[in-house]
């Protein structure tokens, strides 16, 4: 009986243990299913989000459909011969598609034409806002009234024009064949979605030489500041211009963005707007991307940033359906290259001679080399990975070994520096130091408007072509100076002609007694000698 009781007791314990085990398995299954059904919390640790990093379905969020549809039309329906006049907040409101003509207009001419059209709709909207009897509206006013529906005065301040991109997008798809396979391989290496490889369509249409007004460069449009975090950006080499080197930088930046904000819509927008801005937006409105687009206010969160993710989704759709939108595409094939890391500094002419390549071929194969290097003002730096088409060069190591030691260098050509003072101009600085405006602009990344500012440090090109300054040091003959000299503080708008007239002398005499190298670079506050 005791033995039987013990067996019964043990049997009860075994059944109870099996029941508990079954309950635990059931609870674990429910937890797993709940994790699969519900979205992952953005504040969760990274190991739970690894699967989201590489596998993500880029679907259009509810509330963003109108923006995505608008950009689909820009990329696939309207070419650069058309401009779409629309409302900046509601992209469903398109006032007019303007035909700009068969011949491409200059940017200024295009802006003048569109300014008149935008002014026309601004006037119409303000007249509608003042009209009490809206039912009596006719013609164009009636059409605009039905289009906008309400808040007409506000709409009059939100008119914008967007240039079509169909022809550029087609060219971008054809160009992308040169680098797309390698870009997708790099993204796979970093466990990123391959869909991100369409971002250069939004940024630059895969144009290697693309530059923005903000100084962003290359197919990934890195600014200098952001670019320097991931690659080399200098006066001799700018790796932002190399599609493959810049892709490594883009992969690192996108991965960092995602790990910080936990959402691809936010991470992709951060690529345009900046990570800190998206962190602030998320802190204020959570991970609801559409809510952020509609409500987040920031001085820099403008139309471009608000629409960047919608542009990406539109570009992704067009690329996936490229044969539908762009029949008979001639996609370029990758060019097979050989490469060699240079152990010394060498001149561009040395590379041309021993690698049997023209200057243009070197520039095309090595887009990171900047103009000072290609012009011979700077050397190709040591450690630079020099590339050449495989059809042109079979063994770079053997050819490099044939270069004489006397044309291999251990250092870069040194450059001089100049700090801009009040009254300086780019042409004046170029004249003083025996160089050209074009060289100064190239060395210092100066835009088309030739703008320099007080305190700016300019790098001065230095090479064999450097001339002596136009104004040499004047010799001072004390015997000819019979008048007592006094100090004079240069005023605003002064020049030597005005000062000479004021003190009853001539420019030549002032130049001589002050030993000016260049009399055209006076600045307010400067003290000079004048006849008493």
Q: Is the pLDDT of residue 292 over 90?
A: yes
Mean pLDDT (the chain, rounded): 84
Q: Which CATH number fits domain 167-325: 3.40.50.300, 1.10.10.10, 1.10.530.10, 1.20.1730.10?
A: 1.10.530.10
Closest CA to 516 of 493, 500, 492: 500
**pLDDT grade, residue 472 (50/70/90)?**
very low
Find out if CATH 3.40.50.300 is the number for domain 478-531: no
CATH 1.20.1070.10 fits 416-460, yes or no: no
Q: Between the ranges 37-41, 51-55, 72-76, 500-504, where is the mean pLDDT highest?
A: 72-76
In this predicted structure, what is the pLDDT of residue 371? 87
Percent of the chain with pLDDT over 70: 84
The whole model's pTM is what? 0.71
Instruction: Identify which has the larger pLDDT, 135 or 495.
Output: 135
> Torsion angle of alpha carbons 312, 313, 316, 321, nearest 10°?
-140
Compute the chain's Rg from CA coordinates.
Answer: 33
In this model, does residue 45 exceed pLDDT 70? Answer: no
Q: Give the pLDDT of residue 393.
A: 80
Would you say the CATH fold of 416-460 matches that of 167-325?
Answer: no
Centre a 10 Å sphere on the Cβ of residue 67 and count the other Cβ atoms it contains.
Answer: 22
What pLDDT does 510 receive? 84
**Domain spans in the chain, listed from the N-terminal domain onward:** 81-163, 167-325, 337-407, 416-460, 478-531
Q: Which tokens hold the place of 359?
A: 């200057």
**Which tens digits make up the pLDDT trace of 98-131?**
999 999 899 899 999 999 999 999 999 999 999 9
The answer to whether the beta carbons of residues 50 and 293 sit under 8 Å apart is: no
Average pLDDT estimate for 135-150: 94
The CA angle 506-511-514, to the nearest 5 degrees, is 125
Give the residues across from 82 on adjacent strands: 99
pLDDT over threshold 90, residue 171: yes
pLDDT, tens digit (0-9, with 9 covering 90-100), for 345-357:
999 999 999 999 9
Lowest-pLDDT choice from 162-166, 172-176, 476-480: 476-480
In the prediction, which pLDDT does 204 show? 96
């Amino acid at each position: 009986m005791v033995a039987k009781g013990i067996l019964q007791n043990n049997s009860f314990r075994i059944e109870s243990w099996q029941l508990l085990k079954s309950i635990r398995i059931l609870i674990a299954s429910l937890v797993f299913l709940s994790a699969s059904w519900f979205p992952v919390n953005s504040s969760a640790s990274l190991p739970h989000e690894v699967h989201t990093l590489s596998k993500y379905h880029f679907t259009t969020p509810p509330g963003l459909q109108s923006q995505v549809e608008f950009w689909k039309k820009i990329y696939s329906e309207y070419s650069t011969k058309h401009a779409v006049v629309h409302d900046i907040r509601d992209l469903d409101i398109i006032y007019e598609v303007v035909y700009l003509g068969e011949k491409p207009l200059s940017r200024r001419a295009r802006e003048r034409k569109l300014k008149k059209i935008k002014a026309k709709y601004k006037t119409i909207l303000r007249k509608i806002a003042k009209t009490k009897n809206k039912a009596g509206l006719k013609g164009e006013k009636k059409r605009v009234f039905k289009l906008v529906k309400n808040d007409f005065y506000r709409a009059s301040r939100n008119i914008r024009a967007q240039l079509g991109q169909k022809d550029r997008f087609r060219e971008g798809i054809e160009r992308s064949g040169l680098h797309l396979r390698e870009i997708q391989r790099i993204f796979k290496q970093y466990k990123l979605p391959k869909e991100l490889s369409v971002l250069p369509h939004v940024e630059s249409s895969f144009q290697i030489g693309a530059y923005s007004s903000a100084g962003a460069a290359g197919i990934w449009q890195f600014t200098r500041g952001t670019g320097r975090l991931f690659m080399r950006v200098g006066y001799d080499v700018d790796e932002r211009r190399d599609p493959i080197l810049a892709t490594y930088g883009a992969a690192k930046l996108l991965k960092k963005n995602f790990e910080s904000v936990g959402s691809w819509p936010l991470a992709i927008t951060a690529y345009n707007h900046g990570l800190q801005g998206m962190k602030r937006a998320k802190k204020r409105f959570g991970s609801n991307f559409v809510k952020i687009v509609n409500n987040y206010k920031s001085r820099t969160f403008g139309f471009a940033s608000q629409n960047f993710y919608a542009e990406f989704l539109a570009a992704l759709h067009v690329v996936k359906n490229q044969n539908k939108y762009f029949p008979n595409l001639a996609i370029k094939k990758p060019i097979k290259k050989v490469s060699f890391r240079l152990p010394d500094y060498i001149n561009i002419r040395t590379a041309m001679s021993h690698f049997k390549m023209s200057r243009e071929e070197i520039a095309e194969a090595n887009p990171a080399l900047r103009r000072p290097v290609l012009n011979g003002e700077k050397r190709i730096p040591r450690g630079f990975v020099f590339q050449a088409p495989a059809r042109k060069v079979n063994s770079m190591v053997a050819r490099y070994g044939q270069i004489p030691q006397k044309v291999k260098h251990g250092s870069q050509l040194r450059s001089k520096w100049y700090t801009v003072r009040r009254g300086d101009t780019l042409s004046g600085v170029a004249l003083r130091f025996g160089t050209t405006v074009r060289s100064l602009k190239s060395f210092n990344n100066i835009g088309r408007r030739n703008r320099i500012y007080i305190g700016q440090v300019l790098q001065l090109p230095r090479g064999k072509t450097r001339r002596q300054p136009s104004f040499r040091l004047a010799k001072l003959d004390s015997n000819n100076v019979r008048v007592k000299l006094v100090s004079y503080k240069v005023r605003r708008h002064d020049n030597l002609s005005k000062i000479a007239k004021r003190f009853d002398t001539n420019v030549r005499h002032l130049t001589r007694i002050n030993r000016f190298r260049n009399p055209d670079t006076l600045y307010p506050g400067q003290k000079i000698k004048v006849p008493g």
